Amino acid sequence: MALLQLIPSSSSSSLSHKPTLNPSNVSSPLNSNPVLLSPRRNLLRRKRNSLRCSASSFSEKHHTNPPKSNDVVELPLFPLPLVLFPGAILPLQIFEFRYRMMMHTLLQTDLRFGVIYSDTVSGTADVGCVGEVFKHERLVDDRFFLICKGQERFRVTNLVRTKPYLVAEVTWLEDRPSGDGEEDLGALANEVEAHMKDVIRLSNRLGGKPEKEAQDLRRNLFPTPFSFFVGSTFEGAPREQQALLELEDTAARLKREKETLRNTLNYLTAASAVKDVFPSS
């Protein structure tokens, strides 16, 4: 689910990450359209009949043996012009030779690799998310169809090698307790959900679709996985998504998402008023 006409928060102009990698495989600029991101690269294409991502995918536990935050491990990296969140579903089709090599290695190990955001403006981020392959299909020409699910977040600490594909040492990221010890995360998550429903309703109205009441978007998710789910719906604003991914405070992430949704809601409300006055516009 993508939120249309996303208006990023006022703090989205600067990312907290400092690009540390500069792989040569990302050479084309991102689509400048702020609504929908449709990356097309030689190294991958989205599977056309992709799975729809819903809140039910965002379980509280993403891995059977979650790593400790102070563990340092080596992880193959896949720089992409998109941001993967824990719990999100990512369909991919692997074309490029070096990443087909990576897949052959992963099929013999644990099927986990690092998805890390990269573009030609800000370079490659040093915070990403593990993608775990849970469905794959190898084609006769050695291409691969993959269905991956986001798992743990990580930070790149050292680049081990760059050929034939990137491999880095990483440490794991976890949300820390909020500085506001008494913060009611449940209430904050409910406010974010309410804003999401309003944005969806107005987006449907402007798009000529029925203004149906949005379903239960949260689906009993705890605040942290729900904040990742919300971030995953901000398609078309990958730098804002990257900033949300890097935050290590659930309350801060939910507050930023609330501000973004409120800005979007204000924009849609104004657009809806204009449409009422000038129906043909």
Domain map of the chain by residue range? 73-172, 185-277
Give tens-digit pLDDT for 81-97: 999 999 999 999 999 99
* 210 cis-preceded (ω within 30 degrees of 0): no
Residues with Cβ within 8 Å of 91's Cβ and at least 6 positions away in sequence, in order, are 46, 47, 50, 51, 145, 146, 147, 148
**Chain centroid, CA 37 distance in Å:** 12
Residues 159, 168 contacting (CB under 8 angstroms): yes
Residue type, 162: T
Print burial letters for 24-56: b (CB count within 10 Å at least 16), e (below 16): ebbeeebeeeeeebebeeebbbeeeeeeebebe
Q: Which phi and psi angles does 116 have, rounded to 5°?
A: -135, 135
pLDDT digits (tens, 9 = 90+) for 145-172: 999 999 999 999 999 999 999 999 999 9
Domain 73-172: give its CATH code: 2.30.130.40
Q: Which two tokens stand for residue 76?
A: 């193959």
Residue 83: closest CA among 56, 52, 115, 111: 115
Distance in angstroms (rounded) separating the CA atoms of residues 136 and 90: 12
- Secondary structure element (H or E) that encloses residue 263, with its range: helix 250-277
- For 8, 37, 39, 85, 187, the CA distances from 238, given in Å and listed in that order, are 10, 8, 11, 11, 27
Residue 250's pLDDT is what? 96
Nearest 10 degrees: Cα torsion 100, 82, 229, 86:
40
Q: How many CB atoms lie within 10 A of CB 264?
A: 24
- Average pLDDT score over the chain: 80
AA identity, residue 95: F
Answer whether residue 29 shows pLDDT above 70. Answer: no
Sign of CA dihedral 220, 231, 74, 141: positive
Q: What percentage of residues in the chain have a pLDDT greater than 70?
A: 73
pTM of the model: 0.78
pLDDT for the residue numbered 27:
29
Confidence of residue 44 (pLDDT cuts 50, 70, 90): very low
Range 226-254 average pLDDT? 96
Structure tokens at 170: 């990483």
Measured distance CA(60)–CA(225) in Å, rounded: 6
Burial-class residue 212 by CB neighbours within 10 Å (0-12, 13-18, 19+): exposed
pLDDT surpasses 50 at 17? no
Q: Is 138 exposed, middle or buried (0-12, 13-18, 19+ CB in 10 A)?
A: middle
Give the tens place of pLDDT for each residue, 183-212. 799 999 999 999 999 999 988 888 888 777
